[in-house]
Structure 1
Amino acid sequence: MPSQPQLKDAQITVDGRIATLTLNRDDVRNELTGTQLVDDIVRTTEWINTDDSISVLILTGAGKAFSAGGNVKHMLNREGSFGGSVYEVQKKYREGIQRVALALHKLEVPSIAAVNGPAIGAGFDLACMCDLRIASSDAKMGETFVNLGIIPGDGGAWLLQRVVGYQRAAELTFTGRVFGAEEALAMGLVLSVAEPADLLAQARELATRIAEKPPQALRLAKRLMKLSQRQELPDFLELCAVFQGICHNTGDHIEAVAAFMEKRAPKFLGN
């Protein structure tokens, strides 16, 4: 079993097969571009992909915000991630925030964003990078890049329309407006809205239901969900047949069928 990564600005806790990654820079509202959070998120996903004992990742923020996205003061002063020539800035994006989008896209287990507060700009896109989202009732969200004269350089234009459809994503991207949790629920951006004190418990309840499933089948199902976005149906069906062949030859499949027939709870071993 690989050891947990050493993180600088985030914290990992593990409960059974559920890992929770908490962004821990409340002093800067968990902003991503002036902290070590990008590296922390990437390290965490790489660790989970090599550790078969983890079946679900919950991503949340400590303090009042989920993530404020980019550091606006750095934008104003043309420093940090936002300073330099065109080539230098694009290199910083590729080696910075875009690594998070790629890492979460490659994550082999389901991910749940527990949006505990404002998720703005890149922070909003971070939530969209997860498979599932639950929001605190006092959360605020927005694809706000255009308000600052920039575009979603972290992949938000690709992500958001896959969550809410092109038309709604276009409206949110072109207006840059900020909206609340109830509207996010109505547009299908989040699965549910919880009172602030109940948010993590609700996220863990969902994570527990997922983590109870056969670990190998769960990871294969996640891979299929991602691969379906870029494959034609005939090629995709060929892959489904191979993955199904894998599943039919696992001990957990036999256990699942036996438990179903015997009307008992299954005991999965991940083999």
Structure 2
Amino acid sequence: MKIGIIGTGNIATHLLQNINQANAVDGEIIALFGRNEKVGKQLSERYGVEFYSDFQAFVHTPLDVVVEAATVEAAEMYMKEVLESKKDMILSSIGVFKDDEFLMEMKEIAQTNAQTISLPSGAIGGLDLLQSANSLGGLREVRITTRKSPQSLGLEAVKAEELLFDGSARKAIDRFPKNINVALLLSIAGIGADQTRVQIIADPAIEQNTHTIEASGDFGKMTMKIENHPMPGNPKTSYLAALSIIAALKNRGNALVVG
């Protein structure tokens, strides 16, 4: 499996370490695309991967799958071209799908080209349960309460616990595009961005990002709590988000699929 990565940040570095050095996946990262040429060249030299600052050159390399590990803006800018070049895509910045029309357009392109868009579970779990519960439309309510340190939200001035947001997943992703991808992913797996309810709390007393998911419907009820360690060097990103990308790569093309 030949892998390309969009992005040169912490997640890209983590993937390079574990795939090209530690052989955690049956494949190799052969191409890296980004705008920061200095960092890109450093990663290229350290991990033996070709760095591209020109997207056309990157996307036309012989890749099987492209991992977007950058930003919502990058996902929106480059996703269509990746799919039209007949490459599978693993998407990190789920917030790009807050636009339902864009989501439908990308799904149609992927179907036309027999490609797959993979949305890793990121910092949360329970997605398979929500999909099962809603397979016949029986999922009624879904709520996620996210509790993070002020630093991870870019709010260092907050010194006491504070409810920052209480509303729909669609509005949450507008307010916190870099921090609340999990809410939109939850809504895609379940009852939609307008029906999924979100609370975001800044809490100076915690060290781990915490997500509590509650759901109910014909299946019964579910409550799940996840406490995530942040990525080393980047408190805004969950370590589990990087691990879920590796899991998606390892599962690609498997004969046995769980969930």
Q: Which TM-score band applies after superposition, normalised by the shorter structure?
A: under 0.3
Higher strand share: 2
Bigger RCO of structures 1 and 2 (CA < 8 A, at least 6 apart):
2
Max radius of gyration: which structure?
1
Structure ranking higher in helix proportion: 1
TM-score (norm 2): 0.27
